[in-house]
Homo-oligomer: A and B are copies of this chain.
């Protein structure tokens, strides 16, 4: 759900048409006589009246009914509910009147992690004499019949190992490395259990960072400060009275670091594919971890003893958040008690489906515009992901009808993907990119992702070209494999909310049992008009990508981002690098080359009469635009980051708005001071400079 990039998209301003077209070329019929029949087709540009027609046909009530259907039952990946959604998608996409040219399912055998319904995970406070003094809720409290569905999965941390941990409790803020480091200065963490709040670090990291200190188990909860603007009461404040999270609400999630099926890295997870031994999986916790609601977290945290934690660690509870003795205050009912985790998760290789659909292109069937969203949810998933799926189905209904009626066929092919098992680590989309790596690399013009279509009220259209938001998380939704692994220009579209109006880190029902049709239709988008706007926007983008004579991708915008990154890098690093005889000149030269090559290509586009010149000229220019992001791939640039190959957009831990690999390498070198780490900085500078120079070369036509 993290915003991503479609270079050049949104240089313009109007909300719906989004200014995605850079240059728009009319079609002029060439000379007299009877030219070949295909001549007109190859020169055709996007048809604005078709877009108008599309926009007018997108219907909010259809989206609402799509959502109602998709959220009837919980549809966690590979469950019976998931299969129902597969059937529903297939039925819709195979409909002879409103469907696509073709639709089918593709299956992968993927490694998932589930709790045991017969033996639920338990979090308890136990006294020295083994009396259970408190038991955390196993299921969220029901406010509507939805939450009583037996298929509502118990809140759990997918990929947390099964196991039992018992120890004195400590409060570790967000579970970042710096948090445990600070805590460890006061408290011996060996044998403890840590409670952390969501935010600041990846889910898995909260446990992975803890283990080296001897922490035995980790709890995680959502602090009302971070999600509810401090509100806590379900009497009148939280859902079902508002969009805020009720006290028993728990964010589920996948606790892994790498995306894609964990047993088959870089290979599609087919039945006979080689699988690594499970003990070789990296990036998952080796100690048990379990999420709980803030009502239980309150009970635990407010009883913690010893020193008060720093101000930045304090949340919204009406008590001081202490570090913990370790353990509880001596004045507490829990005095001397341990916190105990009994985790019964198990892993299983299960069959997960993508549903695929296509509209074949007329002029360039070998150019693909891909549009996708995942289908699986944690529970009913009305917002995540069904808001996006409802939008996708409405969009394909309108486009499919046009195709089935013979009124329109796109210049380029459109591929629609309803991905499976995203919640477990973007698995369906990642396996798809692994299976079709060559074809997708060669032919894909762009990938458009609409996962959570509408995040909340107080709306803000989010469709930026700037990747900065994505920095810390890197792989927030299914665009990850497309942009990071395949180097395909990608975009994530959603309506988000005005952050001056709320501090919620995400919509409050995210990954809980409250993310239901009732919640969506009452608190997120009553009337579904924001959904409709997203469907119109996404469809508009899609049609322009598929039908424009010149692809609506702007390489000069890319140059601008590179210059911004360079400027930041110079400010942050040049002084120290010069002191170590590492020159940033090659990087400066590379960015300058890129800017001048981009200007050159822009000039060629501007000064050409592409509708009347040979179709191979516009194809050549489009290939340059399409493949530009591919030029930034280096499969060896990030040896420790699974499937990150794009040297400009890779994730970064350093949190600086500059080249990610450089920022991370610099941070490591600066903190260790070791010369081999400074060597890595120099190495990455070379990787980066040469990738940018190489990309610049692809924009030149005159010099071979």
> A30 touching B41 by the CB < 8 A rule?
no
Evaluate contact between A701 and B366: CB separation under 8 angstroms.
Answer: yes
* A190 interface residue (CB < 8 Å to B): no
Q: Is A442 an interface residue (CB 8 A)?
A: yes
The answer to the question of A565 belonging to the interface, with a C-beta cut-off of 8 Å to chain B, is no
Taken together as a complex, chains A and B put the C-alpha atoms of A701 and B368 apart, in Å, by 12
Interfacial chain B residues near A704, Cβ < 8 Å: 358, 360, 365, 368, 413, 415
A336-371: which have CB < 8 Å to B?
358, 360, 363-366, 368
Residue of A272, A623, A627, A630 with highest tally of chain B CB at under 10 A: A272
* Size category, A interface: 35 or more
- Contact indicator B34/A698 (Cβ below 8 Å): no
Copies in the complex: 2
A631 at the interface (CB under 8 A from B): yes
Q: In the assembly, what is the distance between CA of A436 and CA of B274, in Å?
A: 34
Which residue from chain B places its CB closest to the CB of A585 in the assembled complex? B272
Q: Can you name the residue of chain B whose Cβ is closest to the Cβ of A434? A: B690
Looking at the assembled complex, report how far the CB atom of A33 sits from the nearest CB atom of chain B, in whole angstroms: 1
Q: Which residue of B lies closest to A626 (CB)?
A: B442
Which chain B residue shows the least CB distance to A645?
A: B635
Q: Which residues of B contact A442 (CB under 8 A)?
A: 623, 627, 630, 698
Contact of A439 among B267, B583, B683, B694 (CB under 8 A): B694
Whether A31 lies near B42 (C-beta < 8 A) is: no
A677 proximal to B (CB < 8 A): no
A676-697 interface with B by 8 A CB criterion: 679, 682-683, 685-687, 690, 693-695, 697
Most buried by B among A38, A413, A434: A38
In contact, A266 and B694 (Cβ under 8 angstroms)? no
Does A120 sit at the interface, judged by CB under 8 A?
A: no
In the complex, A630 Cα to B439 Cα: how many Å? 10
Which of B272, B614, B687 contacts A583 (CB under 8 A)? B272
Complex Cα gap A39–B630 (Å): 32
CB within 8 A of A436: which of B35, B623, B627, B694? Answer: B694
Residues of B within 8 A of A266 (CB): 636
Cβ 8 A contact of A35, one of B36, B42, B583, B687 = B36
User: Can you list 29 A-B contacts with CB-CB less than 8 angstroms, sorted by A residue number?
Assistant: A31-B36, A33-B34, A35-B36, A266-B636, A267-B686, A268-B690, A270-B690, A272-B585, A272-B686, A273-B586, A363-B614, A363-B616, A364-B616, A365-B704, A366-B620, A366-B624, A366-B701, A434-B690, A435-B690, A436-B697, A438-B627, A438-B630, A438-B695, A438-B697, A438-B698, A442-B623, A442-B627, A442-B698, A615-B616
Minimum-distance CB pairs A-B, first 3: A33-B33, A438-B631, A635-B635
Beyond A31-B36, A274-B682, A435-B693, list 19 extra A-B contacts (CB 8 Å): A31-B33, A31-B34, A31-B35, A32-B33, A33-B34, A35-B35, A42-B614, A272-B585, A273-B586, A273-B686, A274-B679, A274-B683, A363-B614, A363-B616, A413-B704, A435-B694, A438-B630, A439-B631, A635-B635
A interface, CB within 8 angstroms of B: 30-36, 38-39, 41-42, 264, 266-268, 270, 272-274, 358, 360, 363-366, 368, 413, 415, 434-439, 442, 583, 585-586, 612-616, 619-620, 623-624, 627, 630-631, 635-636, 679, 682-683, 685-687, 690, 693-695, 697-698, 701, 704
